[in-house]
Amino acid sequence: MPGPDVRADDNVHGEMSTEPTATVHSGVEAKTERKLTVLETHGYILGRTIGSGSYATVKVAASDRHNCQVAIKIISKFQAPGDYLKKFLPREIEVVKGLKHENLIRFLQAIETTHRVYIVMEYAENGSLLDIIRKDQHIDESRGRRWFKQLVEAVDYCHERGVVHRDIKCENLLMDHGLNIKLSDFGFARGHMKPKNGVFSLSETFCGSYAYASPEILKGVPYRPQDSDIWSMGVVLYAIVYGRLPFDDTNYTQLLKQVQNKVSFPREPKVSTECRKLIVKILAPLKIRAKIPQILSDPWVNPSQATKDEELDAHPDKAESSKEEIKSVNIGTVTFDRKLEEVK
- For residue 323, what pLDDT is reported? 42
Distance CA 283, CA 235 (A): 7
- For residue 183, what pLDDT is reported? 98
- For residue 208, what pLDDT is reported? 87
- For residue 316, what pLDDT is reported? 57
Q: Is 145 exposed, middle or buried (0-12, 13-18, 19+ CB in 10 A)?
A: buried
Summarize pLDDT for 125-171 with one digit per residue, the tens: 999 999 999 999 999 999 999 999 999 999 999 999 999 999 999 99
What are the strands, taking DSSP E only, across 98-238?
Answer: 107-112, 116-122, 173-175, 181-183
Distance CA 81, CA 57 (A): 15
Q: Is 214 exposed, middle or buried (0-12, 13-18, 19+ CB in 10 A)?
A: buried
Whether residue 169 is annotated as binding a ligand: the answer is: no
Domains observed in the chain:
39-122 (3.30.200.20), 129-340 (1.10.510.10)
Distance CA 74, CA 93 (A): 13
- For residue 153, what pLDDT is reported? 98
Regions of the chain short of the pLDDT cut 70:
1-32, 306-344
Sign of CA pseudo-dihedral 231, 234, 240, 244: negative
Residues forming the active site: 167
Summarize pLDDT for 200-234 with one digit per residue, the tens: 889 888 888 999 999 999 999 999 999 999 999 99
Distance CA 263, CA 216 (A): 16
